[in-house]
Structure 1
Amino acid sequence: MMGIYLNSKTAYILYKGETQNPYFVDKSQMLEELFPLVSRGNSHICITRPRRFGKTVMANMIAAYFSKGCDANDIFQNLAVAQSPEYDKYRNKFSVIHISFNDIGEECISYKQYIEQIRECLVHDLKKEYPEAELYGKTDVAGILRYINAEEPTARFIFVLDEWDFIFHQDFVTERDKKAYLQFLRNLLKDRPYVLLAYMTGILPIAKYSSGSELNMFLEYTMAAEEQYSQYFGFTEEEVDILFQKYCMYTEGPQNLTREELKNWYDGYYSKFGRRLYNPRSVVTSLKNNNLGNYWTSSGPYDEIYYYIENNVDDVRDDLALMVSGVAVPAKIKEYAATSMNLQTRDEIFSAMVVYGFLSYENGKVSIPNKELMEKFTDMLQKEPSLGYVYRLAKESDRMLQATLEGDTETMTEILELVHDTETPLFHYNHETELMAVVNLAYLSARDSYRIEREDKAGKGYVDFIFYPETDRNADCIILELKVGFTPEEAINQIKEKQYALRFQGKIGEQSRYSGEILAVGISYNKETKKHSCKVEVLS
């Protein structure tokens, strides 16, 4: 018999639909890693990842494969797990309790309503499947399960619990409710002989919420701290290669995507040991739509960048300026400290942003992963006055681009002087990296019409910025070189001597793409006079 949570057919239906998606990626090999845990029994694992990283798809796969609620051979016989010698041994042989904790009732306004709905449905399922349990209690789920297991020792269960921490993000939940919820999970799962495997997913790690021993039976696997299971959440480089090949075969008419653009837009995350990962939902949506777009849909404050920094803008403002210019900044990331509210310190803020997927973390530094997220940061910088000079420079970026295209160096200089005419940030221009961050802010809106690449290999060396026209191939191209302690004329001479313009003129496949003029732009900063200077020259 099938129930709402016990041996439900829901996971089978949802996962089968997923496998019929033309851009489906087979990650069923993960099941083989779970076989020993099920065989051993009393196993507890929790995998935390940002939103949109495939947690629910994997939870549905696990429930569909193990549950004896229906025969899922029609799904799995064509997937990688079917090659396992233990494929038939574990397939659809177990009682699975599959709960999606984000499935909240329309009129749910209290924790009591929320948890009672879960309890009642689970109790109903158990008493329907095990009629003798009717003799035991009314709503004590753990008690009923213990009774069933005592009467029938072979009655053991696999628990698949998706988005376990969803309730912590709800406004109606109090601190007392959170403690009660942790106690509910502890009572249900800890040291229970009826538990074969408890597989749990969420966004924030358990350690953030469970400071005591409530859920210490779980082994936690986070993206930044544990390598195991990392290949099953997010798409690898090789998987995106295959998906792009499918896209080329399936797409009728113009193909609006290139493989390089997919990488620029959706790559940029890292596993513990440096495996590169793409945002899977965005990749699939982009391929389906034949469109490069921002698919980071917002469903609440946790999907808005400003939510994380509003309590301590001063501490992170300069780092944001650096990251938006493409520079990674050092940070001490402790995922257990990534609380979703009351973020105070710089490291707490960046920890939360890593956990939620706004920043990537590698080798002790955080950075903005890709163009999709860069757009989110750019939007914030242009609409939050509390960011001070960062906001003011970003707001002037339309005027900066127009002045550059017109060769109006007086206006360009005036805009850059905003930095020193208001408050002086940490940027003392000891390095060109700091000047680069300020200049990048001044050209922020240029991203709407240009693909801006930093330190791109061009001619005989590396140039600071190249602006490739995206929306209008007849627009002027821009090569921008920065200098601290030198003149803008020297910057332009470097552009000429290193032949950076060859990036537009002489590269196969690009020489015919751009028909506008090529502008050499030199921007310098004099440490003694503390003044900026600008020069624009059309290259012949």
Structure 2
Amino acid sequence: MGIFLNPGNTAFKEAVNAQIYIDKTELIDFTNQFINTPQKFICCSRPRRFGKSMAADMLLAYYNKESESAKLFAGLAIEKCKSFKKHLNKYDIIYFDIQECIDNAESIENTIEYITKSILKELSKAYPKAVHSNTKTISEALDKINQYTGNRFVVIIDEWDALFRTAPKQKEIHEKYITFLRSLFKGAGARRFIALAYITGILPIKKHGRIPVLDNFMEYTMINPYQTASCFGFTEEEVQGLCQTYNKDFIDVKRWYDGYKLNGLHIYNPFNITNLILQGDTNGYWLQSGTYGTIKDLINTASDELYEDILKLLTEQKVEADLYFSRIDMEYSDDKNNMITLLAHLGYLTYNNDEKKIEIPNQEISIELHKAIETLINNKNGGA
């Protein structure tokens, strides 16, 4: 058991043992249907604090062959699914968090080398007959292990987009990272040695600016969540249950935090609901927890057209938008559709697929948008 190779199930144990835990193990049954199929490359993107890392830890605990997790999943939804025992603790796992790797590498420029060297070291220790000192890439190592043993791997990457978000203008780093991802997930080798690839982050994986990243991943996003709508965040029914258990006013909670609409479901940010219950008061917990950029930064770079749309949204109007073919660029631009799409993925706007309209999700976001607009107006007026 290593840091990158089969790191264990401790993180999910902690999640299950928490005072507030909502069962999201239906995600496992969803991913199980794609194991060892052409659709085994999956990207689930959601805003910060939406339970992405917990879901990645859950998948790690379930698939990791060096863990014994049957008791950990006892009584949860996945235990009743036909696929439960078929894949439980059956695979080698390669797992890493890109943001954590950036921090550990001590510089963003060294991140890919740090990941590669660390994983190769652990693979060579676990499979010394297949991985030698002259093995240069992770994909080469995994392919050799597959040829030598027949083993297939589950690869899980958390915060996959952290390099793009942390260094939005460093194109050389982007290209290096894209090359790394393609080496790992594209081509005949990946089809042989990968049983499942699961990537999660804030941004979808296919449309980073003008650079095509990976086109073989199935995407499940805030705009098109498909079957994963209830797998991240808390549903309204779940929030109602928590309010009843902890004696909270659901109407007030709904006013503050409701607003994300995915496949007809009202989805709440779990970070807000958990902090509300633990700390007692409605507050802007999510916005206070820090984010990549701020609404103020985004609004200050907005075009006049986007500025007018946000003013309409603040008067509780919905605004028409078609986000299906928009590119996503972390370099703020005057492209209104790009900015709206980015705001939706970051969680500052919500998109109604049926109406093809955007709106402000809830009171927490509305308050922050009002502040940002006031700051922008003051700046335009010379600080008067």
Task: State the TM-score, normalized to the length of structure 1.
Answer: 0.66
Is 1:117 the counterpart of 2:114? The answer is yes
The aligned counterpart of 1:162 is 158
Instruction: Give the letter for the 2:270 counterpart.
Output: P
Instruction: Give the letter for the 1:207 counterpart.
Output: K
> In the alignment, is the contact (CA less than 8 A) between 1:224 and 1:270 conserved in 2?
no
The aligned counterpart of 1:218 is 217
The aligned counterpart of 2:179 is 183
Is 1:264 the counterpart of 2:255? The answer is yes
Instruction: Give the letter for the 1:49 counterpart.
Output: R
The aligned counterpart of 1:296 is 286
Q: Larger deviation: 39-48 or 161-170? A: 39-48
Q: Distance in 1 between matches of 2:301 and 2:323?
A: 18
Which structure is richer in relative contact order (CA contacts within 8 A, separation 6 or more)? Answer: 2
Taking a change above 3 Å as real, the CA distance of residues 107 and 27 of structure 1, as seen in their structure-2 partners, is closer
Q: Distance in 2 between matches of 1:109 and 1:67?
A: 29
Instruction: Give the letter for the 1:364 counterpart.
Output: K
> In the alignment, is the contact (CA less than 8 A) between 1:111 and 1:173 conserved in 2?
no
Which residue of 66, 75, 82 corresponds with 2:63?
A: 66
Q: Distance in 1 between matches of 2:339 and 2:10?
A: 39
The aligned counterpart of 2:349 is 359
The aligned counterpart of 1:286 is 276
Deviation at 1:87, TM superposition (A): 1.9
Q: Distance in 1 between matches of 2:292 and 2:103?
A: 21
Taking a change above 3 Å as real, the CA distance of residues 243 and 61 of structure 1, as seen in their structure-2 partners, is same
The 5-angstrom pairing of residues 477-516 of structure 1 reads none
> In the alignment, is the contact (CA less than 8 A) between 1:329 and 1:366 conserved in 2?
yes
> In the alignment, is the contact (CA less than 8 A) between 1:333 and 1:347 conserved in 2?
yes
Deviations 1:485-533 (A, max 9, x none): xxxxxxxxxxxxxxxxxxxxxxxxxxxxxxxxxxxxxxxxxxxxxxxxx
The 5-angstrom pairing of residues 57-136 of structure 1 reads 57-106=54-103, 108=105, 110-135=107-132
User: Which of structures 1 and 2 has the bigger CA Rg?
Assistant: 1
> In the alignment, is the contact (CA less than 8 A) between 2:45 and 2:204 conserved in 1?
yes
The aligned counterpart of 1:234 is 233
> In the alignment, is the contact (CA less than 8 A) between 1:298 and 1:304 conserved in 2?
no
> In the alignment, is the contact (CA less than 8 A) between 2:131 and 2:144 conserved in 1?
no
RMSD (CA atoms) = 2.3
Q: Distance in 2 between matches of 1:35 and 1:320?
A: 41
Deviations 1:287-325 (A, max 9, x none): 111111111245767341122232335223332222222
Q: Distance in 1 between matches of 2:345 and 2:325?
A: 7
The aligned counterpart of 2:316 is 326
> In the alignment, is the contact (CA less than 8 A) between 1:16 and 1:75 conserved in 2?
yes
| SS at 1:200 equivalent | strand
Query: Which segments of 5 or more consecutive residues in structure 2 lack a partner in the other structure?
Result: none
Deviation at 1:282, TM superposition (A): 0.7
Q: Distance in 1 between matches of 2:103 and 2:212?
A: 33
Deviation at 1:111, TM superposition (A): 3.8
Instruction: Give the letter for the 1:177 counterpart.
Output: I
The aligned counterpart of 1:373 is 365
Which residue of 19, 22, 25 corresponds with 1:22?
A: 19
> In the alignment, is the contact (CA less than 8 A) between 1:236 and 1:278 conserved in 2?
yes
The 5-angstrom pairing of residues 413-432 of structure 1 reads none
Deviations 1:74-109 (A, max 9, x none): 210121111123322211111111111110354745
Deviation at 1:8, TM superposition (A): 0.5
> In the alignment, is the contact (CA less than 8 A) between 1:136 and 1:147 conserved in 2?
no
Taking a change above 3 Å as real, the CA distance of residues 319 and 343 of structure 1, as seen in their structure-2 partners, is same
> In the alignment, is the contact (CA less than 8 A) between 1:205 and 1:336 conserved in 2?
no
Q: Distance in 1 between matches of 2:310 and 2:169?
A: 32
Q: Distance in 2 between matches of 1:335 and 1:48?
A: 17
| SS at 1:283 equivalent | helix
Query: Which segments of 5 or more consecutive residues in structure 1 lack a partner in the other structure?
Result: 249-256, 393-540
Q: Percent identity?
A: 29
Taking a change above 3 Å as real, the CA distance of residues 76 and 101 of structure 1, as seen in their structure-2 partners, is same
Which residue of 141, 144, 148 corresponds with 1:147?
A: 144
> In the alignment, is the contact (CA less than 8 A) between 2:43 and 2:200 conserved in 1?
yes
Q: Distance in 2 between matches of 1:212 and 1:317?
A: 27
The 5-angstrom pairing of residues 36-75 of structure 1 reads 36-40=33-37, 43-75=40-72
Deviation at 1:171, TM superposition (A): 3.3
> In the alignment, is the contact (CA less than 8 A) between 2:295 and 2:368 conserved in 1?
yes
Q: Distance in 2 between matches of 1:85 and 1:317?
A: 51
Q: Distance in 1 between matches of 2:325 and 2:239?
A: 28
Task: State the TM-score, normalized to the length of structure 2.
Answer: 0.91
Instruction: Give the letter for the 2:311 counterpart.
Output: A
The aligned counterpart of 1:535 is none
Q: Distance in 2 between matches of 1:165 and 1:124?
A: 24
Is 1:307 the counterpart of 2:290? The answer is no
> In the alignment, is the contact (CA less than 8 A) between 1:315 and 1:345 conserved in 2?
no
